[in-house]
Amino acid sequence: MKIVMVGSGYVGLVSGACFADFGHDVICVDKHEGKIEALKRGEIPIFEPGLADLVAANAEAGRLSFTTDLSGPVGAADAVFIAVGTPSRRGDGFADLSYVYAASREIAQALKGYTVIVTKSTVPVGTGDEVERIIRELRPDAEFSVVSNPEFLREGAAIADFKRPDRIVIGADDDRATGVMAEVYRPLYLNSAPILNVSRRTAELTKYAANAFLATKITFINEMADLCEQVGANVQDVARGMGLDNRIGGKFLHAGPGYGGSCFPKDTLALIKTAQDYGTPSRIVEAVASVNDQRKRAMGRKVVAACGGSVRGKTIAVLGLTFKPDTDDMRDAPSLSVIATLLDGGAIIKAFDPEGMDQAKPMLPPQVTYCTSTYDCLEGADAAVLVTEWNIFRALDLDKARTLMKKPVLVDLRNVYRADQVRAKGFVYADIGRGTAAPAVADSDAA
C-alpha cells in the first residue's frame, strides 16, 4: 500500500520506517527542510536503538523516502497518517492541536480518490470529528474517512513495540476505512497481534486512559516508597508482592524520581482538561499529576539531606539526564527538577549522560558543566546522584569512584545498587523506599 506519514518526528519516523519494513511504500513528509535533507543523508534526528539501521535499509530498498512536498504523495496515497506534535498548550495544559489542524487543511487540498486519513498523534476526544469537519468544509467533493489509530510506543523500545504490539487500536466509523486499516496492518497477522476495532472517539480516549493509568501506577508505588522509608519496609518487595497478583501486574511498579518524557506529563494534563470540560473531573489523575510534580523536587531535597542538610558550594555529580535510558528525550525529565533544586541550594553541578547532553543544554542553566565520561563526572564531587539508570551506571567501580570523589556520597534514585555493598565500600548511601536510607549525616561524617 502507499502510505504517507505527515510529520517525521519520533512517532512519524518510527512508524514510517516500520511500515516500510512491512513492505509498504512510505513517504515521510515534514516542513523542516533541514530535517528532511538530513534524513535523506541517513542522519537520524533522534536516538532510538535500531532506528538508523531500519531507516537506512528501507531507504536503500526504495520503500522509504522523505520530502517536504505534501501534495503529490497525498494525492497517490491509500492512507495518510497525521503524526505531528500535540504539546501541552501554554496556560491550561490542554493539547495544542494547531499542528494537527494545519496538516488536515493541507491534506484536504491534495486529496485525489478515496483516502483514509489517520490520526496517529495523541489527540483528545473529538479531534477526529474536527479533522473530518475541516476536510469536509474545504473539499466537499472528496472521498475520505478519518480514523484514529493511537500509538503505544515506548521510547527505547519503539521498534519492538511497533512490530510486536500488545494491541492495535483502530477507531473507525465505517467499514470501508476498517478494511483499509486491516490491509495496512496485515503483515502483523502472523504475530497474532490483537486488533481492537472501536469507534473513533473510543480509540482517542483509550490512548489517554492507558497513559493516565500507567502514570497512576508509577505515582502510587512512589508514594508507597515514601511510606516504606518511614516504617522500615522494602518497596521493591512490596512491588513484587503486588505484581504477582495477575490483576495488578508487575510493570510500572518501580519506585523512582517520578515520571517524565513526551507522553505521560502532557497526556495526563490533557485528560484532566478534557474531563473538566465535559463536567466529569478526574480527581485521581489530577492528584497523580500534582504528586508527580512535587516528587521531582523532593528528590533534590533527598540529595541535600544525604549531604548533611546543605549543598552550598558542594560539587554534585549527576549521572543521567534523560527521563529514561535508551533515549535522548529530555522532556519533563526528573533531572531538570533535581538539578534546579540543587542549584537553588547553591550546589555546583557536573553532569554526564550517554545521549542526552545536547538536548539538555538548552533546558538547563548555563552553569552546569557537562562531562565526557562517568568518572570524569565523579572526579572531585562531594556527592553523586544516579538519576537515570543507563547500563553504564549499573556497574560502577566503587573503589575507583571513591578515589576520584572528594566525599563518597551516593544517592541512588533508581535503586540500582544494594545498600550493604555500597556502604561496605565506605560510601554514605541513600536509596528509594527500601528501608535502608541512612539518616542525614553531618558534613564531617561524609568525608
The C-alpha atoms of residue 248 and residue 267 are separated, in whole angstroms, by: 22
Query: CB neighbours of 436 closer than 8 A, spacing ≥ 6?
Result: 234, 419, 420, 429
Query: CB neighbours of 278 closer than 8 A, spacing ≥ 6?
Result: none
Query: CB neighbours of 58 closer than 8 A, spacing ≥ 6?
Result: 17, 20, 21, 26, 64
Q: Is 263 a catalytic residue?
A: yes
Nearest to 386 by CA among 403, 411, 368: 411
Nearest to 336 by CA among 260, 238, 233, 265: 260
Cell of 171: 477507531
Match 501541552 to its residue by C-alpha cell: 88
Question: What are residue 81's DSSP bridge partners?
Answer: 5, 118
Query: CB neighbours of 310 closer than 8 A, spacing ≥ 6?
Result: 304, 345, 346, 443
The C-alpha atoms of residue 401 and residue 387 are separated, in whole angstroms, by: 17
CA torsion, ordered 383, 386, 387, 391, to nearest 10 deg: 150
The C-alpha atoms of residue 339 and residue 196 are separated, in whole angstroms, by: 43
CB 204 within 8 A of CB 125: yes
Match 533535581 to its residue by C-alpha cell: 338
Active-site option among 18, 28, 263, 377:
263
Ordered DSSP codes for 351-362: EE-TTTHHHHGG
The C-alpha atoms of residue 298 and residue 291 are separated, in whole angstroms, by: 10
Ordered DSSP codes for 270-338: HHHHHHHHTT---HHHHHHHHHHHHHHHHHHHHHHHHTTS--TT-EEEEE--SSSSS----TT-HHHHH
Give SS3 for 84.
Answer: coil
Query: CB neighbours of 125 closer than 8 A, spacing ≥ 6?
Result: 201, 204, 205, 208, 274
Annotated active-site positions, please?
263
